[in-house]
Amino acid sequence: MRERVRSIRATLLAGQALVLIGTVVVFAAVLYSSRRNADVRALDERIGTRVAAIAAAAEDDEEDGVELELSDAYLAEFSGGEDAPYFLVWDSAGAVALSSGVPGEVPLPTAEGFRDRPPRREATRRGADGLTVLVGVSTAPMVAAHREFLLSLVGAGAIVLALGLAAGWLLAGRVLAPIRRMSEAAAGISEADPTRRLDVGRTETELGSLAATLNDAFDRMHEAVERRTRFTADASHELRTPVSVVLATAEQALGRERTAAEYEEALETVRRAARRMKHLVDDLLTLTRADAGDLPLARDPVDLAEVSDEVLDLVRPLAAAADVSLALDGAPGIVVPGDRERLRDAVTNLVRNAIRYNRPGGRVTVSVRNGGADAAIAVEDTGIGIPREHRARLFERFTRVDEARSRRDGGAGLGLAIAASIVDGHGGTIDVDSTPDVGSTFTITLPRGNE
Ligand code: ADP
């Protein structure tokens, strides 16, 4: 993790270096070339005015040859040494007529204007009488000044670059430090210390809100782990009872010689316990598969009245034994896309409960209704009802309102959880409305899809 943070810092720095180098180079190039152009312009002006003055003052006299009408003081400037300007005057025949101290051979210019003859720059003018006048000057001092200027630009650029990069490095470190702290804290969240959370710090920054988001995710994961742990513990607990029954019955039966009737009775007890275990294991499997998103659900047209009718047929013996009457309110024709078997399981769980938690002489009414985009199945009973405080957790696993009564009736508290999970898989909802001692109504609402 540390490596990763470091490489982000290096990447940031590399990007910043590229931008800085680009900026410094462009800036220096612009400065350098504008200084160079200005200097060349100034030099041209300097030799340009001189060549014009000499061209105006020069004339070729038949008798005296080429003469310059200029003061000695003016001309003194042209004999100042190596870097001083120099001039030449050619007559109309192209022979050198006049010259100041000229450094080496100067070729006769072919046109007026400026020319570069490194390390010199020269200006040419045509004068009177076919004369050609040239003024030149050494560019060495200018080139030296330019080299110095370039060096100082490079130096300043290097300082800007170094300062910029150092500031960038420090800034990146400051920005990344909380991320490193967060990753260390996240690494410290273990099973042994699952409630440890990231320091949210200043929530108004992006990192603060990232920490808050991560904390939320950790909370949800922690809850999920806890739920699963509770589920496993509850499931084991539920399985223990029938397993103990099987073990105790078998041990008792094998303890001594028994009559055939006693063996039969023992086997019957074992069969009941095994059935209960099978039922429980089936339920657990359904829920676990639903959790893993692995509960295959068909999408066939399902007629809700038909399904309800089938359920009522199925539970008729149970209702008769409990002295509860059954009624169906609703005609066929209300169809939803879904898994017929699973929907029947869900409704069966509701109707079984409505019979189990009813009273002798009571009634269970299943009604099917069409609500436009949705369809609903309501299971209404005249039973014991559910106290308000238990309703919120009613659809959670292993929830029993009345432990003694549920256990006696064989419920592990999974029926409603399974119904809820099936309905959820269909994109529907399940709700309960109940008045203690009067009765309860469970309503499944399902989307009708494009049926
Ligand atoms: P169980 O297998 O225990 O019936 P369920 O998940 O089906 O588990 O139901 C959970 C609990 O909700 C039951 O134990 C019972 O206390 C309560 N309950 C469910 N349906 C009804 C109902 N129609 N009337 C009263 N209580 C109910």
Residue 5 has pLDDT above 60, yes or no: no
**Using an 8 Å Cβ cutoff, are 377 and 366 in contact?**
yes
Half-sphere exposure for 140 (CA within 13 Å, toward CB):
6
Of ligand 1's listed atoms, the one at least distance from the Cα of 400 is: 14
Instruction: Indicate the pTM of the whole model.
Output: 0.63
Kindly list the distances between the CA atom of residue 372 and the CA atoms of 56, 303, 375, 450, in Å, as whole numbers in the listed order: 107, 15, 7, 11
CB atoms within 10 A of CB 71: 9
Nearest CA to ligand 1 atom 11: 400
Query: 140-188 and 2-57 are packed helices; what angle lies between their axes, rounded to 10 degrees?
Result: 170
Where does the pLDDT of residue 451 fall: very low under 50, low under 70, confident under 90, or very high at 90 and above? very low
b vs e for 336-361, b when ≥16 Cβ sit within 10 Å of the residue's Cβ? bbbbeebbbbbbbbbbbbbbbbbeee
Residue 86 has pLDDT above 70, yes or no: yes
Residues 6+ apart with CB under 8 A from 65: 97
Distance 372 CA to ligand 1 centre (A): 30
Where does the pLDDT of residue 399 fall: very low under 50, low under 70, confident under 90, or very high at 90 and above? confident
**Using an 8 Å Cβ cutoff, are 336 and 369 in contact?**
no
Distance 150 CA to ligand 1 centre (A): 89
**Using an 8 Å Cβ cutoff, are 167 and 160 in contact?**
no
Distance 104 CA to ligand 1 centre (A): 118
- The burial of 34, by beta-carbon neighbours within 10 Å (0-12 exposed, 13-18 middle, 19 or more buried), is given as exposed
101-156 pLDDT, tens per residue? 777 888 999 999 999 998 899 999 998 888 999 999 999 999 999 999 999 999 99
What SS3 class is residue 318?
Answer: helix
Whether residue 384 has its Cβ less than 6 Å from ligand 1: yes
- 279/1: higher pLDDT: 279
**Using an 8 Å Cβ cutoff, are 280 and 334 in contact?**
no
Residue 64 has φ and ψ, to the nearest 5°, of: -90, 0
Of ligand 1's listed atoms, the one at least distance from the Cα of 411 is: 2
**Using an 8 Å Cβ cutoff, are 337 and 451 in contact?**
yes
Amino acid making up residue 219: D
Closest CA to 102 of 130, 135, 126: 135
